[in-house]
Chains A and B, each alone.
Chain A
Amino acid sequence: FKYKAPFLLGSKASSTIHPLSLSPSLSQMARNKEALLLLLDVGPSMHDILPEIEKVCSMLVQKKLIYHKNDEVGIVLFGTEDTNNELTMEVGGYEHVVVLRHIKVVDGDLGEALQELPRGTVGGDFLDAIVVGMDMFIKKFGPTNKGKKRLCLITNALCPIKDPYEGTKEDQVNTIAAPMTEHGIKMDCIVVRGKHSRNANKRIMEENDLLLSIFSKKSCSKTVYVESPTSLLGALRTRNISPVTVYRGDLELSPKMKIKVWVYKKTSEEKFPTLKKYSDKAPSTDKFATHEIKVDYEYRSVEGPGKVVPPEQRIKGYRYGPQVVPISSAEWEAVMFKPEKSVKLLGFTDASNIMRHYYMKDVYIFIAEPGNTKAILAASAIARAMKEMKKAAILRCIWRKGQGNVVIGVLTPNVSDKDNVPDSFYFNVLPFAEDVREFQFPSFSNLPSSWQPNEQQQEAADNLIKMFNLAPTGQEEALQPDFTPNPVLERFYRHLELKSKHPDAAVPPLDETLKKITEPDPELLSQSKPVIDEFRRRFELKENPKLKKSTRQLLKEKPSGSSEEGEGLGNACNAEAVNFIENASTVKVEKIGDLTPIQDFEAMMSRRDSPDWVSKAIKDMKNKIFDLVQNSCEGDTYHKALECLVALRKGCILEQEPKQFNDFLCQLCKFCQEKSLSSFCDFLASKDIKLITKTEAMDSEITDDEARSFMVKTERKLEQGC
């Protein structure tokens, strides 16, 4: 009988063998403390991936050092040359399994040990390692600490498991799984199957997979398969967060039909750690200095900045347009919106009615109350019916008493394919009417034809999408969120570790495994090279020639290949460029300059190549006059402005545009009054500038009398103003 570990001989045996089950270490175990045993395969076929395993395990230890300082961790290696474990000494067998570190509280040395794992020489037997690990747990904790003991097995499961002396391997696994469950030991198995595993022995692989699947069914164990080093980094949960329910209570289909549910967060962002602010004020001799900084807030009145207003004298003000409305907490309490704690169904709707981009927040999960068979059944029926009919449910949720708002969201089914996992639902928050901005965008079909892709271009895009595939059939889906680590956090913790050794260590470069998250996979790129090249050939990108230089940073990124003359493909910009040059080459005046504004104006007014020139000239001249008046310093530009105004008046009479001039003059005078530039109005009056009258231009609505009184009127207005 191969597995002769004492605990496998029945519960009685284990309790007699471990009289120290109430050892001091376990009475110290706090509520959320975890004991973890890493079972690492270091056999020859694992050597490629070991550097990644070292990284992910060090990360795990690092996070424990920060967030769970009292957790305990041990390391068991298998596939080693040597053998060193208690079972081997006690009962024999269990060769090539080395206990690198016993279960004890995490410390820096553990991290060090993980960074230089020895390379093994024989194919590892993971079942041996599991038994050794369980033995260690049971010896240390006995039946206590249920659910807080975790085995973490990392292997490729490519090497054969030794045959037992009697019974089948499956029987063995069943025998091992039973005490595992009984002692509340959890197990996470990460099976790394890279490319090299494709020519491995299929039979052995399948057998091992079968054995692992028995663990999943018979014990609290989970097996995940990963192919790339990147997903290995993401597969191991490096930080343990005990989930708390957001809500426990009824999911009300109607007042008469309720289902008991528990609601948890399904996703919640792991934030960049909040660092404390550092103060260097404490003397270096002070060993107990905290170096922390406290932040203090003071409220000062706007009127007398010297006066500090005590906190109890403050009152909250809420903006409403330009007003700030003061409301005391008591007043708020009396008028605020206070819905009752409840989760109610509003109805079902087609799942296609709710588009993916309306999901507002991190996601919740609704599960039927654990252990409540009827609730599990009801949830299961609803979830399966929803999936079958492609429906989603709309709910109105108030998670807790006193919550001041309502959450509207969509419930979608999460039908389980594992026999021991109940059906559940995901819940996503939806926006309210106030949260949506309905901007209008042009239809693609209404855009200019030069922007529409032609058939070849469309084909090139199709091919690109087909080739540049991250989820090819029969292979692991790359960059699956569930297996993708956060590169920023990974980098931060690595930097932290480096700094703990050398305080001046520079920020490490992003390592190759993590680069696969931020940049396209070079392998995939080279595979799809022909398609990518074709895509590049089909489309042409050009710098917009009308842009200023400063905005042209994109140019640098241009490949030398694509800037070749693309004949006729979206060449609108070329045509524009030509036009531009044509225009520039003419000597005709296009705008009113600073030097000779009047001549420029007259030249433009007399241009006959387009009727637009007249209005442009008038417009520019008006702007010019405004500028002159506005920028004058004690009237130094008034004379020039007057000359321009006279020229404009003349031009407007010639071109029969009296209104242009008259309106402008009114506008100008008003402008001057507003901007306290009335000296210019006086100046104009003194120079006898008048509105254009009916006699001068047919279209004018101004009589001679009105024209004459114009300046007088503005002056009078002015006096009243004073």
Chain B
Amino acid sequence: MELDPEDIFRDDEDDPENGFYQERESSKELVVYLVDASPKMFSTICPGEDQKDETHFHVAVSCIAQSLKTQIINRSYDEVAICFFNTREKKNLQDLNGVFVFNVAEREYLDRPTAKLIKEFDCVEESFTKDIGSQYGIFSGSRDNSLYSALWVAQALLRKGSAKTADKRILLFTNEDDPFGSIKGVTKLDMTRTTLQRAKDAQDLGITIELLPLSRPDGEFNISLFYAELLGLEGDNLTQFVPLAGERFEDMKDQLRKRMFKKRKVRRITFSITNGLSIELNTYALIRPTTPGTITWLDSVTNLPLKTERSFICADTGALVQEPAKHFQSYKNENINFSVEELSEVKRVSTGHLCLLGFKPLSCLKDYHNLRPSTFVFPSDEEVTGSTCIFIALHRSMLRLKRFAVAFYGSSTHPQLVALVAQEEIVNASGQVEPPGMHMIYLPYSDDIRHIEELHADINAVTPRATDDQIKKATALMRRIDLKDFSVCQFANPALQRHYAVLQALALDEDEMPEIKDETVPDEEGMARPGVVNALEEFKLSVYGENYDEGDDFQANGKVSEASRKRKAIAENAVKESVNYDWPDLADNGKLKDLTVVELKYYLTAHNLPVAGKKEALINRILTHMGK
């Protein structure tokens, strides 16, 4: 069977058009993960899953491991380096003490993540003490400054690529808010100054340094002791910077994960509120289906990639033609030609802006008013100052008055009516859960909505409705099977997980295929709890009555049962007839071809095989089935 990943992951009517889902990756990202490996990272613990305590070092390392896996799936062109500092051993180009760059074979220090890197990094903790070792690298005696060296190494690694085409970032994981705290006097000042200067140099070269601070249980990470200056945080920015406050391992992991991804806007749009009053918005694709990526065709002999060449051939003359500039639609027995320009002119029904049309109560937005994943919008004052102020005012009023805005989004390829729904910021222990802003929901047109309910409306009859008692039983059932802390997107996509696990195993030439846990299967244990079972039984009794039999289902439905009964009868007949033939004998003597198609179909139907195709195909199918 020919399988295409895009087919596998696509429902029948899925949108083949791609433009919308594909994010434009204008630039790649170069990231150096700089992980503090000082003894303090190992001695500080936070409560993790199963009452097991986890070290800060483990938090950092497992976040990076997770991020690498995401990167290899989503953004495999990004380049990463993993660098520990405050280590016993050293490994870096500059040969500096206390800095260890983690790497695997066939890979530069800063390079695209590979299957091997992911696999070996997964068990870095096991061999860490032996191979790398933890040792605080800042002493007053030695003048060694591991933080300084680490920044230097990271900066040197990031020298690759120009600042224009690549985002360069250093992600610094540490729980030490005062790295020079143990040192006194001039040396301290000196070390502080040189380190700050080093960071500043890096920033001047277009490298962003981001701090992922881990708070110790005995005190919050104090950013103002040292790092505020290193990061260049002042005033508003400083107050905005919230240290990771999580007590629990999971919270910390969540917060780190959120900060590790760089925000990418899709585009900047103009939101016209009334004639002449337009504000500036940035749009972000926060939710988009992840697919297993495109396939590359290879030559099965050499395993080298193939180049696909497309050629256009005139169906009438067989002549090779250039990419045609004209298209046609047949209409009234004629071919009506359209040029590409005309078609795009037809689609240009408004300026490329988002144009406000009015407001409606939230109850007007129905559950079926949806077509595609939503897009998030957030204001920007970059070009037009005052945009954010207007946006915040509208946002607040919309939330207070429970209204959403209706607007027309005039993109050139897909102009559409949209609903703008204001979303309040939601914050919990693991950080920001929902950012403040508006979600742009793409609305269907009347042509896109189908009236299925009417299709099955009963004429002249009143449809059965549940009685109050039945509803009460259903209510009781709902109370029993309640997913209290369900959160959207808590499940990993099992198909995608399997896909990449298989790829990883094959990439590493492993023999065994990994087992992937499917998190989406129902909780059978929970469903088997006596309370749940009772509630289900009671509900079943109240709606289905006693002595209910699954077979009864079709009783009321003449149409369906008629078709299925017929099919059943045919099958039964086929089984009966099929017995009258000595199939192996007929096959062995090549006599199958002497039978009629009807006779051949007895065998096929009796063995649940497809009955389509020409006689030859039927014979082949029978032979294949018999294993001949």
A404 near B408 with CB under 8 A, answer: no
Check if B626 is an interface residue, CB within 8 A of chain A: no
A275 near B328 with CB under 8 A, answer: yes
Q: In the bound complex, how far is the Cα of B406 from the Cα of A452, in angstroms?
A: 24
The interface bits of chain B over 375-392 (1 if a CB of A lies within 8 angstroms of the residue's CB, else 0) are: 010100111111111101
B441 near A439 with CB under 8 A, answer: no
The interface bits of chain B over 1-14 (1 if a CB of A lies within 8 angstroms of the residue's CB, else 0) are: 11111001101110
Closest to A252 in B: B522
A266 near B489 with CB under 8 A, answer: no
B421 near A421 with CB under 8 A, answer: no
Given A346-B522, A420-B459, A572-B385, A257–B493 Cβ distance below 8 Å?
A: no
Check if A722 is an interface residue, CB within 8 A of chain B: no
A468 near B457 with CB under 8 A, answer: no
Check if A599 is an interface residue, CB within 8 A of chain B: no
Check if A165 is an interface residue, CB within 8 A of chain B: no
A281 near B452 with CB under 8 A, answer: no
Check if B612 is an interface residue, CB within 8 A of chain A: no
Q: Which segment, of B25-33, B53-61, B168-176, B279-287, faces chain A?
A: B279-287
Check if A488 is an interface residue, CB within 8 A of chain B: yes
Chain A residues near B462 (CB, 8 Å)?
419-420
A457 near B393 with CB under 8 A, answer: yes
Check if B298 is an interface residue, CB within 8 A of chain A: yes
Chain A residues near B335 (CB, 8 Å)?
278, 291
Q: In the bound complex, how far is the Cα of B423 from the Cα of A443, in angstroms?
A: 12
Q: In the bound complex, how far is the Cα of B285 from the Cα of A477, in angstroms?
A: 30
A272 near B347 with CB under 8 A, answer: yes
Most chain A C-beta atoms within 10 Å of own C-beta, residue among B321, B355, B357, B436: B357
CB distance from A247 to the nearest CB of B (A): 11
Chain A residues near B287 (CB, 8 Å)?
357-358, 360, 431, 435-437
A320 near B72 with CB under 8 A, answer: yes
Tier of interface size on chain A: 35 or more
A365 near B493 with CB under 8 A, answer: no
A377 near B384 with CB under 8 A, answer: no
Given A346-B522, A444-B425, A503–B115 Cβ distance below 8 Å?
A: no
A465 near B403 with CB under 8 A, answer: yes
CB distance from B108 to the nearest CB of A (A): 11
B305 near A324 with CB under 8 A, answer: yes
Given A291-B316, A316-B298, A442-B240, A541–B435 Cβ distance below 8 Å?
A: no
CB within 8 A of B336: which of A108, A219, A403, A499? A499
A381 near B473 with CB under 8 A, answer: yes
B389 near A453 with CB under 8 A, answer: yes
Check if A26 is an interface residue, CB within 8 A of chain B: no
Tier of interface size on chain B: 35 or more
Q: In the bound complex, how far is the Cα of B112 from the Cα of A296, in angstroms?
A: 35
A281 near B298 with CB under 8 A, answer: no
Determine the main DSSP class of A at the interface with B: mixed
Given A349-B483, A441-B378, A570-B385, A318–B393 Cβ distance below 8 Å?
A: no
The interface bits of chain A over 359-370 (1 if a CB of B lies within 8 angstroms of the residue's CB, else 0) are: 111110101011
Check if B154 is an interface residue, CB within 8 A of chain A: no
Determine the main DSSP class of B at the interface with A: mixed
CB distance from A684 to the nearest CB of B (A): 19
Chain A residues near B324 (CB, 8 Å)?
277-279, 293
CB within 8 A of A275: which of B273, B284, B343, B427? B343
Check if A547 is an interface residue, CB within 8 A of chain B: yes
Closest to B16 in A: A271
CB distance from B393 to the nearest CB of A (A): 4
CB within 8 A of B463: which of A260, A422, A436, A482? A422
Check if B302 is an interface residue, CB within 8 A of chain A: yes
A257 near B539 with CB under 8 A, answer: yes
CB distance from B473 to the nearest CB of A (A): 7
Chain A residues near B367 (CB, 8 Å)?
359, 363, 412, 414, 426, 428
A385 near B410 with CB under 8 A, answer: no
Chain A residues near B9 (CB, 8 Å)?
404-405
Chain B residues near A371 (CB, 8 Å)?
556-560
Check if A491 is an interface residue, CB within 8 A of chain B: yes
Check if A462 is an interface residue, CB within 8 A of chain B: yes
Check if B521 is an interface residue, CB within 8 A of chain A: yes
B495-518 with Cβ < 8 A to chain A:
495-496, 498-500, 502-504, 506-507, 513, 516, 518
Most chain A C-beta atoms within 10 Å of own C-beta, residue among B316, B389, B464, B492: B389
Q: In the bound complex, how far is the Cα of B486 from the Cα of A353, in angstroms?
A: 7
Check if A297 is an interface residue, CB within 8 A of chain B: yes
Check if B48 is an interface residue, CB within 8 A of chain A: no
Q: Which segment, of B177-185, B254-262, B572-580, B616-624, faces chain A?
A: B254-262
Q: Which segment, of A1-9, A150-158, A329-337, A635-643, faces chain B?
A: A329-337
A520 near B296 with CB under 8 A, answer: no
B557 near A369 with CB under 8 A, answer: yes
Chain A residues near B303 (CB, 8 Å)?
315, 317, 326
CB within 8 A of B304: which of A303, A323, A332, A485? A303
Chain B residues near A358 (CB, 8 Å)?
287, 374, 488-489
Check if B137 is an interface residue, CB within 8 A of chain A: no
Chain B residues near A464 (CB, 8 Å)?
394, 397
B331 near A66 with CB under 8 A, answer: yes
Q: In the bound complex, how far is the Cα of B408 from the Cα of A481, in angstroms?
A: 12
A646-681 with Cβ < 8 A to chain B:
657, 659-660, 663, 667, 670-671
Closest to A699 in B: B190
Q: In the bound complex, how far is the Cα of B537 from the Cα of A254, in angstroms?
A: 10
Check if A212 is an interface residue, CB within 8 A of chain B: no
CB within 8 A of B408: which of A268, A407, A519? A519
What are 10 A-to-B residue pairs whose CB atoms are below 8 Å? A234-B446, A268-B13, A281-B317, A293-B314, A324-B296, A336-B8, A355-B423, A435-B287, A437-B261, A521-B357
Q: A256-B540, A294-B312, A300-B306 are known contacts; what are 5 more A-B pairs with Cβ within 8 Å? A: A297-B309, A347-B522, A385-B472, A541-B278, A544-B382
